[in-house]
Amino acid sequence: MGHVRDLPKAKLGVDTEKDFAPQYVIPRDKRKIVERLKEVAGKTEKIILATDPDREGEAIAWHISQIAENSKQKADKFNRIVFHEITKEAVQEALKKPRSLDLKLVDAQVARRVLDRLVGYKLSPLLWYKIRKGLSAGRVQSVAVRLIVEREREIEAFKPVEYWSVEALLRSQNSKLKNQNEEFEASLIQRDGKKVEIKNEKQAKGIVEELENIDTVWKVAGVEQKDIKRHPYPPFTTSTMTQSAAHQLGFSTKKTMKLAQDLYEEGLITYHRTDSFNLAATAVNSARKFIKEKFGSQYLPASPRFYKTKSKVAQEAHEAVRTTNVSVTSDKLQVASRDHQRLYDLIWKRFVACQMTEAVYDQVALDVTANSYLFRAVGETVKFPGWQTLYSEQKARLPDGQADSREQEKKVPSLSVGDLLELLKLTPSQHFTEPPPRYTEATLIKTLEEKGIGRPSTYAPIISTILERFYVELEERKFKPTPLGVATNDFLVKNFAEEIEVGFTAKMEDQLDEIADGKREWVPTIREFYDPFEKHLEKVSQEAERVKVAAEVTDEKCPEGHRLVVRYGPYGKFLACEKFPEHKFTKHFESEDFRKKEEELEKLNLKCPKSGDPVVLKQTRRGRIFYGCSGYPKCKWASWQLPKEVGGKVAEG
């Protein structure tokens, strides 16, 4: 049900003159449930509060107690219980350990809510006045936009630098090995003991000509062989779960959190808003028992694996995200959709794999000399798969989304120092340095977490907000700032550099943690921020100039021959005449992705399965692309996915 009391939407709702006292109201859609709670509380001698095990949950429990107390219910009648999974055993265990409400956690939630309200409701009207109506600023969302804008500027300012590499394709001159055709590739790394830097084609060709000389002797100068252990990834936190779901399943953060919420409510996984790596001893023991029975004792380490958590707040030392019953695999689930099953499977495999033995690789490094040049070839083969037997099926990826090279075997032949080699081919290759990539949802969350900005419960709302406000847009699943986002960011950076500075925002998060840990009082903390902020706000309001948002001009024209520019409305992008408001011509905006899919669809010549009319590409008001019948509204057939049948055949529904 969420919060039963909250700050009002239409006004600030914080009394800045009286210690920032929040002025709570009961939202219209919660009034019935509140009346029901009051009625039940009035007839009950004892009340157990069992809301979510985090700050928000503690605050909701406190609000319920406040409402119930108004029904002549004494505070000492309330017990608070906490559990991290909705299972019979967990609830029964929690009932044995009731406690009073943790007002330190409540204070931390109140402080966050008040702080965000003060920033949002004070800055937003200023943005309306200085930039455009309907804008909003947020303590954390503005920092996220700043990161995206600054990354875009890095990309725009980037100047590629040319460099070359030289690869040698070799094989042993030994006739036995030659018959086995054991070719391998080695990369040039040094000349006369110094690192080789090849800046242009001329230098690369000069090296190749020198090495292709018939007198060049290629031989093995060094062989190093060792075992490399790859340890399993730790169990999921909110951050790593959303990152992995994005990389491996293509899910948005919002979708992942919604699916995880459903799985949690069904008692299938532990609480999904967490930054902890902690695992219950009973869960670890169950996993170890399962691993031994399913995979064998060689896949079970001698002792359980425990991972050090990053959480600074002892009271919020939740468990990691794991499945509640390790014996329930995804194929046994009775869930609402295939996507629920896929996310569950990912969580299950990550949890089980974290308790398995290391993967062991046999690594061989060969150093090859050719005159004054040194080449190196490194090969890895799996000696024992360990945890990767399970998790590599998901094509596990590194946190930044790059393919994990540890899964790609690369063999080099078994050679000895002094063995002579035959050169088969020398390949010079041109490269250019690349700009930093745009943020994806996964890499943005990873960066926010690394910089200490936001918390598990805020990642999805942050991303939703900056997209809904049209400060950024997703282009091929990567964030690109809009002209509106750039203008808003530049105004805030110029006038409120400290308030939306990464380090300052991270410091505020730490202070909220200290409030939750009882090391800091919330009112002095807010006052320390607000007093100088309010004075600065007044100064900017009087002195800052109005900002003009740059229009994004297109090649298209209106019927009267004027250029069309990109505008933003309640449902996203649309095209409008540059002479607006004199000329009010508008047109639906079609993204590059839309055009590509439209061209693809035209080639397929699909027919609607209901009416037989051609299938066409359409967009929702929010810009989401789907396939529909050209005979709409008579025929309302539609599909999110491209149907399989092609060549004029009837599309699959």
- 366 and 380 Cβ atoms separated by less than 8 Å: no
Longest dimension (CA), the chain: 100
Q: Cα-Cα-Cα-Cα dihedral of 201, 203, 207, 212, to 10°?
A: 40
Distance spanning both ends of the chain, measured CA to CA: 35
The span from the CA of 88 to the CA of 85, in Å, is 9
Catalytically annotated residue among 233, 264, 271, 361: 271
- Fill in the DSSP letter of residue 650: B
The span from the CA of 451 to the CA of 623, in Å, is 32
- 574 and 623 Cβ atoms separated by less than 8 Å: no
Respond yes or no: is residue 459 known to be catalytic.
no
Burial class (CB in 10 A: 0-12, 13-18, 19+), 399: middle
Q: 559: how many CB neighbours lie within 10 A of its CB?
A: 8
SS (H, E, C) 361-391: EEEEEEEEEECCEEEEEEEEEEEECCCHHHH
Residue type, 481: P
Helix 441-450 to helix 459-468 angle (10° resolution) is 130
At residue 326's C-alpha, the angle toward residues 320 and 330, to 5°, is: 100
Q: Cα-Cα-Cα-Cα dihedral of 282, 288, 292, 293, to 10°?
A: 40
- Residues forming the active site: 271
